[in-house]
Amino acid sequence: MSTSSHAQTTAVKPERIVLVGMMGAGKSTVGATLSRLTGWRYVDNDEVVEQMVGMPTRDLLEQRGVAAMRAAESAAAQAVLKMDPPVIAGAAAGIVLDGATAAQLHDGAFVVYLRANVDTLVHRIEGTYRPWLGDDPEATLRSLYDGREALYEKLADLIVDVDDLSADDVAQRILDASASVGSGH
């Protein structure tokens, strides 16, 4: 239940909050909560992908493969970053694998890594349709987590361990931390 913060590279208060983390970490739930608390619009990367390519990411993956899905996720993330602020964005879990797009997240944004342990992720995705997890979702999530955790940590201005926190608690920690950006704290 810890929260850690990295130094924001800009002294300007962020106009965007970008949520990153593994599937099941709570990006959509926390994003919706932040939207309710701030009045800022929330934009989910998966919804933007669906609007851009005309199908959900799970169908895109099944029909066109991983490379097409990752390219669409990156294009969607870039489109979200061009939206007029203020905005809260839930980035695709794999966006951290696209170094160029991941680097753009910091342009005027406060990047928050919603970190959850694998047991929490497995519990949260149970019963959802996630074909890319295969027959052993826990093993797949562990493998993905091992390959991405350091990338998420490096990218984040703030890391919030979400396992034992409500969406309201996570959102409040994000708002408290982002409010101090640019205020000399």
Per-residue pLDDT tens over the stretch 51-100: 999 998 888 988 999 899 999 999 999 999 899 999 999 998 889 999 99
Dihedral sign, Cα of residue 119, residue 77, residue 45, residue 169: positive
pLDDT of 12 reads: 57
Range of the domain at 161: 3-179
Phi first, then psi: give them for residue 93, nearest 5 degrees: -55, -35
- Pull the structure tokens for residue 166: 């409500």
Specify the number of domains making up the chain.
Answer: 1
- Pull the structure tokens for residue 61: 């993956």
Find, among 102, 101, 100, the residue nearest to 150 by Cα: 102
Per-residue pLDDT tens over the stretch 8-36: 444 457 789 999 999 999 999 999 999 99
pTM of structure: 0.88
* Domain-located, residue 153: yes
Helical axes 167-179 vs 27-38, angle rounded to 10°:
60
How many Cα atoms are found within 13 Å in the side-chain-facing hemisphere of 3?
16
- CATH code, 80: 3.40.50.300
* Domain-located, residue 126: yes
Per-residue pLDDT tens over the stretch 148-166: 999 999 999 999 999 999 9
